[in-house]
Amino acid sequence: MASKFYKTALSNGLTILGEANEANVSAAIGFFVKTGARDETDLESGVSHFLEHMLFKGTPTRSAIDINLELGNLGAQANAFTSEESTVYYSAIIPENFRAMQELLSDMMRPLLDPEEFAMEKKVILEEIALYQDRPHFYLFENAFKDYFGQHPAGNSVLGSHESVSALSRDVMKSYFDRRYSPSNIVLAATGNFSWESFVSDAERLCGGWENFSVLRDTPRYAGKSGKRNILRKNLSQSHAVLITSGACAQDPERYPLSLLANILGDSSGSRLYWALIDKGLADSASVDNDERDGTGCFSTYVSTSPERLDEVLSIARSVLASPLDFSEADLERAKSKIVSRIVLDGELPMGRLMALGMEWSYRRESTPLSVIVERVQNVSRGDIEGALKRFPLNEWSEYRLLPE
């Protein structure tokens, strides 16, 4: 049975999306808030992620324990995440518990921000920051993007720093919530086996009273820059490096050709970097990513290897990147097969379609059927990749190395 797409909006601006399919044995539901690290001021650094945690810590009608127990009683697979550009609260649920899950999530979207819970959760956030700072890959990318983007908001840290989070107050968080969590800046989406009519009716009852206000985001395109920087760290056994250059944004048509090119160059298996570095035992990791963001984007290459081999590995990686069109039609078809397989396998489950539905609407105010996305990928030609490289030539790289001190 084919899925059926629905869309409506409440009078307060809350967009409601649905992709219903009675053949599914589960459903998924989520709130997609168009806010993240790039929307924070320096004094608010880390507040989006901290606030995400606080939505599980109580509302005017539920305590943190109540929320935790209710999630367990519903058998819900519920979670949330914060990125540079979005904060998403979601759950996979059996159909008979869908309405109860919608009621719980909707209540959580109006948090109490209890001062005692705030103080306790701040300690959890600080421990999380310390944990991630011990991960070389994270530490490298955190510092590299901060330097690469400079004053552009795309370089803002999702977690923030120990200093910025320590200084955050409950009032600053409340002010941020009041500035960003407008219903017109939120998408409520559902997929799988659920009733669209009940979904909309319950949304009106549960969310229709939320006050609407204008929310803005600047989305300047970042032109990129070239340069080199070494970052030193104690107790490292391996060296790590990332090369970053300008790439397609989430609204650019070139995102499809560049995603295929990234797969050809640096997928985890069978890519050009795999054969040049991993298969030969020169590097532990080698990958290429097309990072599409709101209004801007970047194209990056990451490698890790022993310190004495880093120069050789980066030289080989740069050689591969310098000839991006050196691939066969078989290579292109293999990349298409990999990407299509991932899209279809993700889209087979309601949760996978939920994420695709919500994020696409947040970025492009459109909803594309799974079959159309697959068709777009399969229709990419060598000429399309050549055209994308004319706009994004991948020839001015910023290089960041994480080295043992």
Claim to verify: residue 169 and residue 251 sit in the same structural domain: no
Decide if 357 contacts 90 (C-beta within 8 A). no
CA atoms of 22 and 395, how far apart (whole Å): 49
CA 85 to the chain's CA centroid: 7
Three-state DSSP at 370 gives helix
Quote the number of domains for the chain. 2
Claim to verify: residue 48 and residue 133 sit in the same structural domain: yes
Claim to verify: residue 202 and residue 245 sit in the same structural domain: no
CA atoms of 210 and 201, how far apart (whole Å): 15
Three-state DSSP at 300 gives strand
CA angle 353–31–298, rounded 5-degree value: 70
DSSP state of 211: P
**Does residue 55 lie in a domain region?**
yes
Claim to verify: residue 128 and residue 80 sit in the same structural domain: yes
70 pairs with which residues across the strands?
A: none
Structure tokens at 11: 């009078």
Q: Which range of residues forms the domain containing residue 186? A: 4-207
pLDDT digits (tens, 9 = 90+) for 355-388: 999 999 999 999 999 999 999 999 999 999 999 9
CA 327 to the chain's CA centroid: 29
For 97-102, what is the mean pLDDT? 98
CA atoms of 182 and 212, how far apart (whole Å): 5
Decide if 240 contacts 302 (C-beta within 8 A). yes
Mean pLDDT of the chain: 97
Per-residue confidence band for 3, with pLDDT thresholds at 50, 70 and 90: confident
Three-state DSSP at 100 gives helix
CA atoms of 182 and 399, how far apart (whole Å): 39
Claim to verify: residue 38 and residue 180 sit in the same structural domain: yes
pLDDT digits (tens, 9 = 90+) for 318-349: 999 999 999 999 999 999 999 999 999 998 99
CA atoms of 201 and 190, how far apart (whole Å): 13
**How many other CB atoms sit within 10 Å of the CB of residue 98?**
25
Claim to verify: residue 184 and residue 254 sit in the same structural domain: no
For 192-216, what is the mean pLDDT? 98
Which residues contact residue 63 at a Cβ distance below 8 angstroms, ignoring those fewer than 6 apart?
none
Per-residue confidence band for 1, with pLDDT thresholds at 50, 70 and 90: low
Give me the pLDDT at residue 38, please: 97
For 8-36, what is the mean pLDDT? 97
Decide if 291 contacts 285 (C-beta within 8 A). no
**Does residue 215 lie in a domain region?**
no
**Does residue 217 lie in a domain region?**
no
332 phi/psi in degrees, rounded to 5: -65, -45
Report the side by side order of strands in the sheet with 186-192: 4-9, 15-20, 186-192, 27-33, 87-93, 77-82
CA atoms of 213 and 183, how far apart (whole Å): 8
**How many other CB atoms sit within 10 Å of the CB of residue 43?**
12
Per-residue confidence band for 16, with pLDDT thresholds at 50, 70 and 90: very high
For 115-132, what is the mean pLDDT? 97
Three-state DSSP at 41 gives coil
Claim to verify: residue 199 and residue 239 sit in the same structural domain: no
CA atoms of 86 and 48, how far apart (whole Å): 9
DSSP state of 130: H
**Does residue 222 lie in a domain region?**
no
Among residues 175, 207, 239, which one ends one of the domains? 207
Closest residue by Cα to residue 35 from 86, 80, 84: 86
**Does residue 382 lie in a domain region?**
yes
pLDDT at residue 312 tops 80: yes
Per-residue confidence band for 2, with pLDDT thresholds at 50, 70 and 90: confident
37 phi/psi in degrees, rounded to 5: -60, -35
The domain that contains 366 carries what CATH number? 3.30.830.10
Claim to verify: residue 100 and residue 156 sit in the same structural domain: yes
Report the side by side order of strands in the sheet with 285-292: 227-233, 398-404, 239-246, 297-305, 285-292
Claim to verify: residue 160 and residue 271 sit in the same structural domain: no
Closest residue by Cα to residue 405 from 230, 284, 242, 285: 230
Claim to verify: residue 200 and residue 231 sit in the same structural domain: no
**Does residue 218 lie in a domain region?**
no
| Terminal CA-CA length for the chain | 59
Give me the pLDDT at residue 32, please: 98
Determine which helix (DSSP H) or strand (DSSP E) holds 109, and give its type and residue range.
none
Which residues contact residue 77 at a Cβ distance below 8 angstroms, ignoring those fewer than 6 apart?
91, 92, 93, 351
Claim to verify: residue 299 and residue 200 sit in the same structural domain: no
pLDDT at residue 92 tops 80: yes
The radius of gyration of the chain's CA atoms, rounded to the nearest angstrom, is 22
Claim to verify: residue 330 and residue 367 sit in the same structural domain: yes
**Does residue 371 lie in a domain region?**
yes
